[in-house]
Amino acid sequence: MLSEANKTLTIHEIIKLLPHRYPFLMVDRVLDYNEMALRAIKNVTANEPCFMGHFPENAVMPGVLITEALAQAGAILAYTKTKSSPAEHIFFLAGIDNAKFKQMVIPGDQMVLNVEITGHKANFWKIHGEATVEGKIVCSVDILSAMREVSQ
């Protein structure tokens, strides 16, 4: 499904890989990837629904959504590695460890999502992720994802 010569993914290609849709699709573009690592972006805009209720006078992106963006980037990496699709398999969040939130993410920021595979056994994938804004780490987390077959 993905061309090995083209190591970037547009939003249209991401939509083919992830089952998520608005407002839960958190990855806007994949900048580059290889067998073990991926770098993507999430543009944070004031129009996102979370900002209406999460400190509306001083909007801050919830840490759980930053973590979700990193988990989705990890799922994209796993899909590219397994050559699978959401029609065959789906990745579920199975665990979060060592989550650290170091700086606020606000509307207008562009998060760079860096993920790497740190382990893989059977249907479980360990992913380490770091989100940065303007070169500063805003979040780091270790994610465990479970790959399951889609039941027909």
Active site residues: 54
Helix (H) or strand (E) holding 96: strand 89-101
Helix (H) or strand (E) holding 146: strand 136-149
Q: In what order do the strands lie in the sheet with 29-33?
A: 29-33, 37-43, 110-121, 124-133, 136-149, 89-101
